[in-house]
A = this chain, B = another copy of it.
Amino acid sequence: MKLYDYPASANCFKVRLLLALLDRPYERVPVDIFAGESSTAAYLAKNPAGRTPLVELPSGETVAESNAILLYLGEGTRFVPEGLEERARVWAWLFFEQNLFEPNVGTARFWRLTGRDAGRHEEWESRRLAGIGALEALERGLTGREWLVGDAPTVADIALYAYAHVAHEAGIEMAPYGSVAGWLARVQAEPGFVNDLVSYPAGARAGSASGSVHDRAS
C-alpha cells in the first residue's frame, strides 16, 4: 500500500497516526503540493480533487479524503465500531471535523504559520472565531466522556486529534477546554502513538513560487 503524503498536513498525519496505531506497513510517497505535484494530469486521474492524503492499493485502486481513508483502513479493527448506531456517531464526528473543525482551525493555523493572514485580518479572524465555535462543540461532546464514541478510541478521536492538538497555533486560547485537554493526553498515551507532523517548509509560505492559490492546503 502507498500513501501519497504531505508531511506538514495534519490531514495526512491522521492517516499516518492510524497506521502507526495499527502497526501496519506502507510506502510513503511524498507529494509537494506547493510545487504543483497534486494537480498534474497523472495525479488528478488518481484523485479528481487533487489533494493529499491518498491511498493506493496494490490493485491500483485508490481511496481519497483523509477521513474516508480512516474509515477504510479502520474497518474490522478496534478503531471502527460494528453497530450501526455507533458507526453513525463516528461518521457524524468525522463530518463535523471536515466541515467545521479543519476548515476553520486548520485554515486559520495554516494562514498564520505561512503568512497568508497578512493583509486580510478580518477573513482570518472569521476563520479563527468559527474555529473557537468548533472547539466549544468538541468540548461539549467530550464533557463527561473519555472518548467521542463509546468507551474506547475510534477513528473519530484520531481525526479530531489531528488539528485539535495544534489549535493553539491558530491563535486560539486553549485554557477553556479542559475536557479536550484530558482527551488529547489520552490519545497521546495510546500504545503505538506517534506524532510525526512537521512544520510547514519555506516553499509553503505565501509569496513563494506557488503563491496564494493554496489557501486550503492545511
Q: Name A's B-contacting residues (CB within 8 A).
A: 44, 48-50, 61, 63-69, 71-72, 75, 84-85, 87-89, 91-92, 94-96, 98-100, 102-103, 120, 122-123, 126, 130, 137-138, 140-141, 215-216
Query: A129 vs B173: C-alpha distance in the bound complex, in angstroms?
Result: 31
CB <8 Å contact, A91 and B120: no
In angstroms, how far is the closest chain B Cβ from the Cβ of A87?
A: 8
Chain B residues near A69: list those with CB within 8 A.
Answer: 88
Q: How far is the CA of A149 from the CA of B88 in the complex (A)?
A: 21
How near does chain B come to A52, taking the closest CB pair, in angstroms?
A: 13
Contact of A88 among B63, B130, B138 (CB under 8 A): B63
A85–B94 alpha-carbon span in the complex (Å): 19
Minimum CB–CB distance from A18 to chain B (whole Å) comes to 14
A215-B61 Cα distance, complex, nearest whole Å: 38
In the complex, chain B residues whose CB is within 8 Å of the CB of A141: 48-49
Q: Which residues of B contact A99 (CB under 8 A)?
A: 65, 98-99, 102-103
Complex interface: chain B residues within 8 A of A98 (CB): 95, 98-99
> Is the Cβ of A66 less than 8 Å from the Cβ of B48?
no
A94 contact set on B, CB distance < 8 A: 68, 95
Closest to A123 in B: B123
A68 contact set on B, CB distance < 8 A: 88, 91-92, 94-95
